[in-house]
């Protein structure tokens, strides 16, 4: 059995710690706040983020980052993308030379517009960055923790590393596929959150299933255009980290980003929505970065642009969706 350090004790970090610990791996789960780590270690239940299930005895909880990552075969990073450079940058000093880093964050860095693999290239020694892998796909933490069947994809440039993650993370209820498309898997995972806010907003306005389906389909086209411009394989967006994750996040009741959109469609203000949420909705920050990236690369991204106007320029939700319908007519493939 392998030694695994999990960075981040939110819902996804906790559920993956449970999954890996349940398989028999020795897992160390890192929580940023010492008082939170102490409570989790004592009760064995993450009351804030995943109260339905109990940590197995194979999972140790700590607030000491060095303890969490030192001498681990795998280090699984689940922090929000905006914290990746800071937290993983600190962890870099304690990683063993043969550690395989598994990124499970979905987003783009504010300002630099960097993907997580690009951040890793900046903060890790070259061999560790080259072996790093990226986990993405249609998975809600609650359902993984409940051992409901799920499928996910692990992308990496090193086949030996991706194969190792596939082997050690797969269970009879958690099926892991491999991919060589590091860019595409990350772009699909990040950009689908923007479309999910739009789909939720449409539902909040009670625009119906036709509208949601249109947003999801045209959103996938938009994600694909941006991803391909960045160097992704277009077929990746028909897979688990593309269409699969998009469908789940746009339509699933557990989706945080959809929840933000629902509230916007019902007339709530973004600041009030965020203040009430315990968990991070990555799509809010990603929308700003995605709009900047599309503009920089000269890629048409009307849904992203409209959602940027809603989130950051106070464009009313109803006006945003009306604006999308009023655009000049085009070929579907243009």
Q: Torsions phi, psi of 95, nearest 5?
A: -75, 140
pLDDT of amino acid 278: 74
Q: What is the model's pLDDT at position 112? A: 97
Catalytic residues: 192
Q: How far apart are CA 265 and CA 83, in angstroms?
A: 29
Please check whether residues 66 and 187 belong to one and the same domain. no
The C-alpha atoms of residue 80 and residue 9 are separated, in whole angstroms, by 11
Which CATH number do you get for residue 46?
3.40.50.720
Q: Are residues 211 and 156 in the same domain?
A: no
190 with 287, same domain: the answer is yes
187 plus 299 within the same structural domain: yes
Identify whether the C-beta of residue 323 lies closer than 8 Å to the C-beta of residue 305.
no
The CA distance from 287 to 282, in Å, is 9
Single residue among 141, 161, 180 that ends a domain in this structure:
180
CATH number for the domain harbouring residue 240? 1.10.1040.10
Q: How far apart are CA 280 and CA 80, in angstroms?
A: 7
Strands 100-103 and 45-46: unpaired
Structure tokens at 59: 């999972």
pLDDT at 52: 86
Strands in the chain per DSSP E? 3-7, 26-30, 45-46, 50-54, 59-62, 74-77, 100-103, 133-136, 150-156, 174-179
Q: Interhelix angle for 282-297 vs 302-313, to 10°?
A: 130
Q: At what angle do helices 116-123 and 182-204 cross, to 10 degrees?
A: 130
Give the C-alpha separation, 136 to 256, whole Å. Answer: 16
Contact 227/179 with Cβ under 8 angstroms?
A: no
Boundaries of domain holding 150? 3-180
Cα angle, residue 96 at apex, residues 95 and 99 outer, rounded to 5°: 85
Domain count, the chain: 2
Q: Is 30 helix (H, G, I), strand (E, B) or coil?
A: strand
Boundary residue ending a domain (162, 180, 198): 180
* pLDDT per residue as tens digits for the range 13-43: 999 999 999 999 999 999 999 999 999 999 9
Mean per-residue pLDDT pooled into runs of 10, the chain (334 residues): 96 97 98 97 96 95 98 97 96 97 96 97 98 98 97 98 98 98 98 97 97 97 98 98 98 95 96 85 93 98 97 96 92 87
What's the pLDDT score for residue 13?
97
pTM: predicted TM-score of the whole model, two decimal places: 0.96
Q: How many residues does the chain have?
A: 334
């Amino acid at each position: 059995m392998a030694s695994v350090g999990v960075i981040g004790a939110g819902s996804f970090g906790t559920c993956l710690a449970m999954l890996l610990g349940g398989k028999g791996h020795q897992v160390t789960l890192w929580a940023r706040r010492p008082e939170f780590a102490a409570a989790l270690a004592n009760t064995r239940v993450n009351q804030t983020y995943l109260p339905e299930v109990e940590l197995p005895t194979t999972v140790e909880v700590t607030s000491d980052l060095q303890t969490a990552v030192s001498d681990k075969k795998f280090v699984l990073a689940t922090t929000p993308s905006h914290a990746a450079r800071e937290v993983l940058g600190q962890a870099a000093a304690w990683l063993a030379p043969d550690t395989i880093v598994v990124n499970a964050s979905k987003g783009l860095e504010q300002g630099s517009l960097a993907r997580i693999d690009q951040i890793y290239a900046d903060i890790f020694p070259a061999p560790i960055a080259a072996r790093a892998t990226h986990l993405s796909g249609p998975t809600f933490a609650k359902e993984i923790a409940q051992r409901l069947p799920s499928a996910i994809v692990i992308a990496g440039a090193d086949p030996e590393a991706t194969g190792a993650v596939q082997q050690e993370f797969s269970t009879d209820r958690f099926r892991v596929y491999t991919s060589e498309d590091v860019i595409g898997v990350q772009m699909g995972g990040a950009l689908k959150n923007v479309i999910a806010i739009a789909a939720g907003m449409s539902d909040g306005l009670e625009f119906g299933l036709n509208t949601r389906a249109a947003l999801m389909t045209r959103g996938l086209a938009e994600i694909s255009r941006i991803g391909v411009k960045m160097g992704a394989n277009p077929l990746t967006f028909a897979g688990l980290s593309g269409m699969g994750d998009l469908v789940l996040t746009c339509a699933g009741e557990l989706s945080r980003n959809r929840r933000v959109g629902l509230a916007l469609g019902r007339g709530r203000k973004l600041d009030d929505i965020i203040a009430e949420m315990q968990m991070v909705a990555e799509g809010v920050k990603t929308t700003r970065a995605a709009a900047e990236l599309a503009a920089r690369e000269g890629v048409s991204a009307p849904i992203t642009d409209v959602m940027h106007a809603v989130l950051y320029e106070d464009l009313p939700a109803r006006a945003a969706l009306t604006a999308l319908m009023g655009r000049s007519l085009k070929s579907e493939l243009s």
